[in-house]
Structure 1
Amino acid sequence: MKLRILLLFIFSIVTSCKREPKKDLQEWTFLSNHLQYKEQKGILEVKSGKFSYTFKANQIPFNKIILLNSSMAGYISELNAVDHIVGVSSPEYIYSDKIQSLILAKKIHNVGNEQKYDVEKIISLQPDAIFTNYIASFDNTYQLLKNNGIQVIFLDEYTEQKPLEKTAYLKLFGKLLGKEKEANEKYQEIENQYNALKKLALQAKSKPVVLANEMYGDIWYLPGGNTSVAHYIADANADYVLKNNKEEKALTMSFEEVFSKSNGVRYWINAGNHTSKKEMLTMNSLYEKLGVFNNGNVFTVNGKEKGKANDFFESGVVRSDWVLKDYIKIFHPELLPNDQLIYMKELK
């Protein structure tokens, strides 16, 4: 009887092990609600929003890629994979010195801009893949490229509102470019630093009220309370004027509506790319009615600009830890006395 029980016990263990699913093969890895991937039997499946892709083992890693959005250059630079790039659109908006030097050396080619892509040049470069954000008006162009055997991958990373989830796109680029180890290590480094900074911000003795963005014409596009801007402000231990709002998009408001919320505002961030307060007033004289404008503490995102290129929209897309550090330096300068602003700049 004892032997029979022992055999049944062993059998139950063996069969339960066989039934246990192999998580690394069957479960999706969620980088965000927008982007997931899984590997099974040598095949990589990717879901990016409404788009799905399947890559066989002989298709990746990609050796030659084209970027149609400058923000994606930040991920490639962070992985030291710039040599994989053979083409970019609107090169004047790319900040990276290395990419610009390769453009000058004609190792990276200009393939057009957001109005029109040079399809013939793209095809002649024979890229393994093109990375871009989806624009419906380019559907015919995308289809033409696909008809010529070119893989077009839509990522739309700009839709991500949680800073570290946007950073996590590094992991997908790492898989597709044969840089998985580097990508995982880099993400872990950024995540650790981000969380350490978030913890540091909690040591602040004050929690200032913050206003963001600026007016375009008669409309102030104020970020919703669940946008990346709002998340950064909260993680930097400050109070956003719309902190109780749940929108993941900007709200359109008149100056009067924003003015009514501006009482007690101590900092105004992401105030365009102006060079001075005087210049701001030439754009909109109403700003002078805001207490925060007159009392100082107005910051733009043009701390790292070269011509039309702004690194806030390139490396800043990936380095969420550096962006958070800037906001903490602004709201709680006493916590980072020896640090300088990277992407932000105070207006005089």
Structure 2
Amino acid sequence: MELKSGNFTYNFHKNQTPFKKIILLNASMAGYISELGAENLIIGVSSPEYIYSEKIQNLIKERKIQNVGSDQKYDVEKIIALKPDAIFTNHIASFENTYELLKNNGIQVIFLDEYMEQKPLEKTAYIKLFGELLGKEKEAEAKYEEIAENYNELKKRALTSKEKPLVLANEMYGDVWYLPGGNTSVAHYIADANASYILKDNKDEKALTMGFEEVFAKTNGVQYWVNAGNYTSKKEMQKVNSLYGKLEVFNKGKIYTLSGKEKQRANDFFESGVVRADLILKDYIKIFHPELLPGYQLTYMKELQ
């Protein structure tokens, strides 16, 4: 069986898979495992405080899942002692020595690039890869089909709205506003929710760095501001950056953060949201066209008061 992800290609022998004992070094990957109901295959995670799943947290409390360090430093000895069939992680160049050490101890390290995938359903599709490696192909296929079907139906429903509001996204860090490019997942979601993103004509798959004045110049008529950090109130937001108060959307529009499903340091938007493109799209449609989803309560997003 061959697996391709970004720059990496793997070949697994018939007797290597399905994996029975896995370690996850990224919280986002827990989302795929949870959707497959395969939490009991996890024997170790890093930085457990970032994992939202209650089931995984309970398995950690019961010591069925071990803490194997953090993204500052992995506990290599513990990982080797746990004898996992495979470790799933995003490739971080500075950890090359650690990866080598693990591989030299006969541990299969699998690098995934799901976080670089900008098309929502293609990010969801990684569930099929986990399905193949964990012996849950049928469940994965069914889950993918269900999410894709929901997504496409919601997209159609969004098109029935007469309005196409103008949207701003993300926030500033210091002097820099990281504005998602027109080909990023944020831009795709906004378009699929039948709204008009201020950088929709841009072709970049990554965020563009801009100063406040540059962004300000593009915000005339913006009604919605999404993915605006994780503030608890507009007041707090303005305290962090007084420039925000100059924006018309700050004073007259609606602002939404990604903190609808947060527990301490864990945010489910970055976990189950990685798979559930349909629910993220549903949130955006509810924000831009509330009349289309009258009974629906937001899942991952939250309006700032």
TM-score interval w.r.t. the shorter chain? over 0.9
Partners of 1:108 and 1:296 in 2: CA distance: 45
| Letter matched to residue 91 of structure 1 | P
Are 1:264 and 2:221 an aligned pair?
Answer: yes
What value does the CA root-mean-square deviation take over the aligned residues? 0.4
Return the alpha-carbon distance in structure 1 between the equivalents of residues 63 and 108 of structure 2: 23
Q: Does 1:169 align with 2:123?
A: no
Match of 2:247 among 290, 294, 317: 290
The yes-or-no answer on 1:233 pairing with 2:173 is no
Within a 5 Å distance, the mapping from 1:192-207 to structure 2 comes to 192-207=149-164
Q: Could you say what secondary structure the match of 1:47 adopts?
A: strand
Q: TM-score, normalising length from structure 1?
A: 0.87
Amino acid at match of 2:13: K
Match of 2:7? 50
Q: Is the 8 A contact 2:189 2:284 kept in 1?
A: yes
Deviation at 1:96, TM superposition (A): 0.1
**Structure 1 outlier segments of 4+, above 2 Å:** none
What is the number of residues matched between the two proteins?
Answer: 305
Checking the alignment, whether the CA contact within 8 Å between 2:222 and 2:253 is kept in structure 1 is: no
Distance 2:22 2:270 in 1: 20
Of 50, 68, 76, 2:25 maps to 68
Per the alignment, in what secondary structure is the counterpart of residue 3 of structure 2? strand
2:102 aligned partner = 145
Partner of 1:121: 78
Alignment of 1:32-47 (within 5 A): 44-47=1-4
Correspondences of 1:210-249 after superposition (within 5 Å): 210-249=167-206
- Is 2:221 aligned against 1:252? no
Does residue 318 in structure 1 map to residue 259 in structure 2?
A: no
Deviation at 1:296, TM superposition (A): 3.3
What one-letter code is carried by the residue in structure 1 that aligns with 2:263?
A: K
Q: Which residue of 1 aligns with 2:138?
A: 181
| 1:131 counterpart residue number | 88
Summarize deviations over 1:278-334 as a string: whole Å, max 9, x none: 000111000000000001310000000000000000000000000000000000000
Distance in 2 of aligned mates of 1:231 and 1:303: 21
Give structure 1 stretches of 5+ with no counterpart: 1-43
Contact 2:120 2:189 (C-alpha < 8 Å) held by counterparts:
yes
Q: For 1:52 and 1:203, locate their aligned partners in 2 and report how far apart those are by CA, in whole Å.
A: 43
Residue 281 of structure 1 pairs with residue 238 of structure 2: yes
State the SS of the aligned residue for 2:177.
strand
Which of 1 and 2 has greater Rg?
Answer: 1
1:89 aligns with 2:89: no
Structure 2 runs not aligned, ≥5 long: none
* Identity across the alignment (%): 76
Q: Deviations over 1:134-176 (max 9, x none)?
A: 0000000000000001000000211000000000000000000
Decide whether the 8 Å contact of 2:86 with 2:107 is kept in 1.
yes
Pick from 109, 112, 120 the counterpart of residue 155 of structure 1: 112
Is 2:256 the partner of 1:299? yes
**Secondary structure of 1:188's partner?**
helix
1:111 to 63, 68, 81: 68
Partner amino acid for 1:153? I
- Secondary structure of 2:44's aligned partner: strand
